[in-house]
């Protein structure tokens, strides 16, 4: 039995708890602490940031019920973040396997990638607050998400504490000391605050929450951003080349290549759309790219498709000209009918190949005398409405004016 073991602080990384134990128990070497805590082992897996056997090994030496292993797994490791995009049933099954004493690191789960893998990270202001509250600083788990650029609490840049040797993190216990006088760095790139908020939301949401495949909100946001293949009206496949270029433009080559490689394959994009890729970092980069709030990807409520909403508005107007409608929608003319079919909208423009009955009604030419300002206003109106000729505008005014006159006179 252990005669002493520190209580974890709020959101303290499990590794940090072990490091504080080493600091306070007074052992002369890391090796002595490893052997004392982990049944004579030469090393322990406390540096993985996954829940693992080290939690059970320590709890076995403490009074029954002293700590809850589920609480440690969910609140003192990166488990909720690393499994955020797993199906709810699968993630709960893996958690139960851990509680039953099985290995928590199946091969397809990878630890969060880092740009600087040989470091732990900290926020100077968190260090100062921890010392004021607890008289010592500690490693916060949220700061160890490799892609996290800023502290989610103080919005200053996270600092790297380089691991001073080549030993694995689980073989050495480094407490967070001597950072309380450092000044915070508030410099940030334009996307970094939104990215920080997204990553932190993924971490602190209830463990069971997972992505909503039926709502398909990530794909809908990517479509709204104009990043679908032009010929993919029915399948809505991502334009992977333009998507990769947009990611590179926003985040730079280093981050994009680190998380997506040198390109995005169509197979990867398809798997991503169906949430068969489990990397929370990739989803964070994609959702921030298309300006989607972090909780929307998990919502049951679908976000609107901007093209569909715009097309419905046009269908309710008096625009009857195909080329003009396509121009207003920002799509090619031959895409108008396929999109209308996809959205369940009846064509609201004349259909080519549709025979019209011949009319014996006589038509007349009309001459209008307009001032330059009036002509400019008329030209602007025609362009906004997607009309192709002045006669279209005249018919529009006649139809709408006649309808209004009939309503006012109860016809």
Give dist(CA 400, CA 178) in Å, integer.
76
Q: Is the pLDDT assigned to residue 147 strictly greater than 70?
A: yes
What residues contact residue 350 under an 8 Å CB cut-off, 6+ apart? 320, 321, 322
Q: Is the pLDDT assigned to residue 165 strictly greater than 50?
A: yes
Q: Are strands 159-162 and 119-122 parallel, antiparallel or unpaired?
A: antiparallel
Q: What pLDDT is stored for residue 116 in this prediction? A: 43
Q: What pLDDT is stored for residue 112 in this prediction? A: 44
Q: What pLDDT is stored for residue 382 in this prediction? A: 72
Q: What pLDDT is stored for residue 181 in this prediction? A: 87
**Banded model confidence at residue 296, pLDDT cuts 50, 70, 90:** very high
Give dist(CA 155, CA 158) in Å, integer.
9
- Provide the mean pLDDT of the chain: 85
Cβ neighbour number for residue 216 with a 10 Å cutoff:
19
pLDDT per residue as tens digits for the range 380-400: 877 766 666 777 667 666 666
Q: Rounded to the nearest 5°, which phi and psi values hold at 38?
A: -125, 45
**Banded model confidence at residue 111, pLDDT cuts 50, 70, 90:** very low
Q: What pLDDT is stored for residue 323 in this prediction? A: 81
| Mean pLDDT within 90-116 | 69
Q: What kind and span of H or E run contains 53?
A: helix 53-59
Cα diameter, the chain: 107
Give dist(CA 18, CA 12) in Å, integer.
11
Q: What pLDDT is stored for residue 229 in this prediction? A: 83
pTM equals 0.83
> 313-342 burial by CB neighbour count: b if 16+ within 10 A, else e?
ebbeeebbbbebbbebbebeeebbbebbee
The conformational region for residue 345 under phi > 0 = left, psi -120 to 50 = alpha, else beta, is: beta
Q: What pLDDT is stored for residue 84 in this prediction? A: 95
What residues contact residue 137 under an 8 Å CB cut-off, 6+ apart? 122, 126, 127, 130, 131, 176, 177, 179, 180
| Mean pLDDT within 333-348 | 89
362 versus 248: the higher-pLDDT residue is 248
If you average pLDDT over each of 61-65, 253-257, 347-351, which comes out highest? 253-257
pLDDT per residue as tens digits for the range 41-92: 766 888 888 888 889 999 999 998 889 999 999 999 999 999 999 999 999 9
Give dist(CA 382, CA 394) in Å, integer.
10
Q: What pLDDT is stored for residue 47 in this prediction? A: 82
- Backbone Cα Rg of the chain: 31
pLDDT per residue as tens digits for the range 204-235: 999 999 998 899 999 999 999 999 887 767 66
| Mean pLDDT within 133-152 | 96
Residues in the chain: 411
Q: What pLDDT is stored for residue 172 in this prediction? A: 86
Q: What pLDDT is stored for residue 230 in this prediction? A: 73
**Banded model confidence at residue 21, pLDDT cuts 50, 70, 90:** very high
**Banded model confidence at residue 163, pLDDT cuts 50, 70, 90:** confident
**Banded model confidence at residue 171, pLDDT cuts 50, 70, 90:** confident
Give dist(CA 193, CA 387) in Å, integer.
44
Q: Is the pLDDT assigned to residue 409 strictly greater than 60?
A: no
Q: Is the pLDDT assigned to residue 114 strictly greater than 60?
A: no
Give dist(CA 165, CA 398) in Å, integer.
83
Give dist(CA 16, CA 72) in Å, integer.
12
65 versus 189: the higher-pLDDT residue is 189
**Integer distance in angstroms from the first to the last C-alpha of the chain?**
93
């Amino acid at each position: 039995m252990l005669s002493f073991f520190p209580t974890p602080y709020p959101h303290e990384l499990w590794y940090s708890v072990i490091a504080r134990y080493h600091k306070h128990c007074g052992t002369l070497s890391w090796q002595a602490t490893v052997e004392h805590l982990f049944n004579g082992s030469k090393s322990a897996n406390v540096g993985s940031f996954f829940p693992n056997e080290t939690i059970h090994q320590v709890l076995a030496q403490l009074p029954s019920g002293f700590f809850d292993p589920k609480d440690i797994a969910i609140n003192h490791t990166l488990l909720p973040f690393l499994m955020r995009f797993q199906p709810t049933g699968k993630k709960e099954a893996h958690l139960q396997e851990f509680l039953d004493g099985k290995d928590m690191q199946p091969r397809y789960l990878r630890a969060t990638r880092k740009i600087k893998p040989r470091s732990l990270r900290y926020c100077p202001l968190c260090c100062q607050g921890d010392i004021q509250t607890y008289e010592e600083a500690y490693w916060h788990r949220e700061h160890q998400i490799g892609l996290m650029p800023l502290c989610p609490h103080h919005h200053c840049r996270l600092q790297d504490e380089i691991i001073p040797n080549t030993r694995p993190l689980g073989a050495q216990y480094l407490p967070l000391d001597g950072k309380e006088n450092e000044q915070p760095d508030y410099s940030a790139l334009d996307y970094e605050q939104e990215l920080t908020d997204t990553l932190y939301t993924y971490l602190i949401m209830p463990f069971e929450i997972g992505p909503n495949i039926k709502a398909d909100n990530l794909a809908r946001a990517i479509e709204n951003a104009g990043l679908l293949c032009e010929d993919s009206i029915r399948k809505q496949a991502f334009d992977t080349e333009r998507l990769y270029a947009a990611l590179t433009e926003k985040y730079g080559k280093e981050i994009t290549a680190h998380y997506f490689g040198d390109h995005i394959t169509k197979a990867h994009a398809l798997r991503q759309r169906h949430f068969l890729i489990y990397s929370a970092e990739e989803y964070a980069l994609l959702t921030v790219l298309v300006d989607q709030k972090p909780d929307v990807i998990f919502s049951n409520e679908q976000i609107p498709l901007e093209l569909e909403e715009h097309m419905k508005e046009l269908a309710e107007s008096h625009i009857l000209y195909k080329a003009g409608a396509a121009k207003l929608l920002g799509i090619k003319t031959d895409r108008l009918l396929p999109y209308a079919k996809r959205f369940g909208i009846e064509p609201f423009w004349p259909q080519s190949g549709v025979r019209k009955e011949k009319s014996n009604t006589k038509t007349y030419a009309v001459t209008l005398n307009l001032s330059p300002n009036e002509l400019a206003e008329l030209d602007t109106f025609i362009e906004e409405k997607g009309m192709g000729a002045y006669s279209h505008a005249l018919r529009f005014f006649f139809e709408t004016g006649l309808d209004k006159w009939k309503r006012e006179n109860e016809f």
